[in-house]
Structure 1
Amino acid sequence: MNFNFKTLALAAIAFAFTACEQANTCNYDETAKTLSCPEKVYKTVSLAGKVWMAENMADYVPDNSICYGNDHANCEAMGRLYTWGAANNGLCPNGWTVPSQQDFKDVFGSATVEDLKKADGFKMVLAGFRYFDGKFADKDSSASFWTKDSYDDARAYLVRVTDTTITYEHFNKSIAASVRCVKE
């Protein structure tokens, strides 16, 4: 039997890349306003000239995503929480990306928090976040969304929506927050 380890290794690498690519492939249906992914069918909405996911991402990323309070029911209701690195390392489906601060500003504009909660389509979920030390905070009182914008090596920009304010702040990249994706 002639067994070539180099050929076997190359085949394994090709399979791994193909499997990852297929796992991150979703089907967007503009008419139905849905994005069908292996883990979930997400609703979408057109806002400020872009197509947004109308729900928080819920894709499991080992060691870099978590359910609020380590309770799977929270993932079902609010999506998963991700580190900045996980959010910006291929989490969004092919053809989609993590929004920039400017993308959020274009959508949120001069809207009030009440406007956002009532907005048709965006489905503001106050999913809170997890600190880098593992403590959870702000469920039902704030929504925190990662942007693709890095502040420095340790921090990145997060959009925070509370009962009264919308802020653009930089936080440690190790905290876990919600992610929405926009169509590229």
Structure 2
Amino acid sequence: MYTDNNLTIRPIKKEDLPRLWELFYKEEKPEWKKWDAPYFPHHTKSYETFLSEQEKWIASENYWVIEVAKNIRGTVSYYWEHQPSCWIEIGIVLNEAESWGKGIGTRALKLWINHLFNQLPLVRIGLTTWSGNERMIRVAEKLGMQMEARIRKVRYYNGVYYDSIRMGMLREEWEQQHYSET
């Protein structure tokens, strides 16, 4: 568990499942999906189906909840792009619009990156988004990530082609930035 004032990131517990289902799978067309890879389909799930997959969520190393004032607002995550070379990509979802534009994502990802660099033998952390998600790009830049690749016009959404954006940060860049703040 990591905390920054009233914001906490922590592993998922069984009692979090009703709230996570509500945030991720209850609605057919949730607002957050317009920003989180909207070119991939979103499907609702019944609560029973979601519970049958609970081992993916509970105490997972790569999915944690974001709490603000003890209310779950979303998740931070990572996946292995290539585990033998310790290459991971991170992500964040803040499911409710009232959580957007308040610095919550920046604070949560800062805690998550710090946790990952402290717990895993990583040289680099990456983040992939699309050019339509300007808020995500700004968050990555605020955290010191650099644009590493722009794959032009590969994401098609609502009749428009967007770029895939790959950003990243090296451990030494994080440590230099992080330790200079204290």
TM-score (norm 2): 0.31
Bigger helix share: 2
Higher RCO, 1 or 2 (CA under 8 Å, sep at least 6)? 1
